[in-house]
């Protein structure tokens, strides 16, 4: 199963791009799960270290269903809107809250495949720094980060929304970076399947 995490509080460009990505994977026979932060209550990590002592997070909120999805996933796709040249606060909260997964089992995410999608209102609005934040999270947690290859989608999918869903639909170059990254992601997924 591939879990797609939409890090936008709106049902707009990031939601659209991730939904389209998961539909492509479904069409090719992969099972997917869509998780959005929209309307959810996911608090930031408090660094109380409860998880280190009890192997679970003290904050019993909407992160719990996502923990289940992450445990069961072969692949993870984090799709974030670009906020101040990086990931959204909602995506950062999810990353930090994964400390509890590591406390439960140090290898809980190890060996899974990870892909990133960044959607910015500007063409060069910080999509690549946002993708680097996602890849850093993957590396720290033993997730294998997938690049789109060195010709056009080096760090993953970079989309330009002009702040609207209609805008992102017009970003044909951005969708090329998505296609390339997805191609590499599927190649890795298929190479892992016995
Ligand atoms: C708090 C905030 C900060 C933002 N910072 C950036 C930015 O640094 N670079 C950029 O390209 N767009 C920035 N934007 C615009 C969003 O990335 C853009 O509207 C994107 O499409 C939002 O995703 P959504 O449509 O899925 O909600 C920002 C938007 C907000 C609300």
Task: Ligand 1 pocket test: pick from 121, 132, 166 the residue with the most ligand atoms within 8 Å of its Cβ.
Answer: 121
Span 12-21, average pLDDT: 98
Task: Ligand 1 pocket test: pick from 4, 8, 21, 120 the residue with the most ligand atoms within 8 Å of its Cβ.
Answer: 120
Q: Is 18 in the pocket of ligand 1 (CB under 6 A)?
A: no
* Domain ranges (residues) in the chain: 2-192
Mean pLDDT for the chain overall: 97
| Residue 106 to residue 66: CA distance in whole angstroms | 17
Whether the per-residue pLDDT at 25 is higher than 90: the answer is yes
**162 C-alpha to ligand 1 centroid (Å):** 9
Nearest to 101 by CA among 144, 136, 66, 153: 66
- What confidence tier does 152 reach under pLDDT thresholds 50, 70, 90? confident
* pLDDT at position 151: 86
pLDDT in tens, 117-146: 999 999 999 999 999 999 999 999 999 999
What pTM was estimated for this model as a whole?
A: 0.98
* pLDDT at position 193: 65
**39 C-alpha to ligand 1 centroid (Å):** 18
> What ranges make up the beta strands (E) of the chain?
2-6, 32-36, 75-81, 113-120, 144-145, 157-160
pLDDT in tens, 62-119: 999 999 999 999 999 999 999 999 999 999 999 999 999 999 999 999 999 999 999 9
- The domain at 2-192 falls in which architecture? 3-Layer(aba) Sandwich (3.40)
**52 C-alpha to ligand 1 centroid (Å):** 34
Neighbouring C-beta atoms of residue 116, cutoff 10 Å: 30
Whether the per-residue pLDDT at 54 is higher than 90: the answer is yes
Whether the per-residue pLDDT at 194 is higher than 70: the answer is no
Span 179-192, average pLDDT: 94
What the block records as the tokens of 66 is: 């996502």
**What is the maximum span of the chain, computed from C-alpha positions, in angstroms?**
49
**55 C-alpha to ligand 1 centroid (Å):** 35
């Amino acid at each position: 199963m591939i879990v797609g995490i939409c890090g936008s509080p709106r049902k707009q460009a990031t939601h659209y791009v991730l939904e389209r990505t998961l539909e492509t994977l479904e069409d090719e026979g992969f099972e997917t799960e869509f998780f959005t932060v929209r309307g959810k209550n996911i608090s930031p990590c408090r660094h109380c270290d409860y998880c280190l002592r009890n192997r679970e997070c003290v904050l019993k909120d909407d992160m719990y269903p996502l923990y289940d999805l992450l445990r069961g996933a072969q692949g993870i796709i984090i799709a974030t809107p670009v906020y101040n040249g990086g990931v959204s606060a909602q995506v950062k909260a999810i990353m930090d809250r994964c400390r509890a997964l590591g406390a439960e089992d140090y290898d809980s995410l190890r060996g899974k495949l990870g892909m990133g999608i960044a959607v910015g209102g500007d063409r060069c609005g910080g999509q690549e720094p946002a993708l680097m934040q996602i890849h850093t999270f993957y590396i720290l947690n033993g997730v294998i980060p997938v690049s789109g290859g060195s010709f056009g989608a080096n760090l993953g999918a970079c989309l330009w929304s002009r702040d609207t869903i209609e805008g992102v639909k017009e970003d044909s170059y951005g969708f090329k970076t998505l296609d390339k990254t997805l191609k590499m992601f599927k190649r890795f997924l298929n190479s892992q399947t016995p």
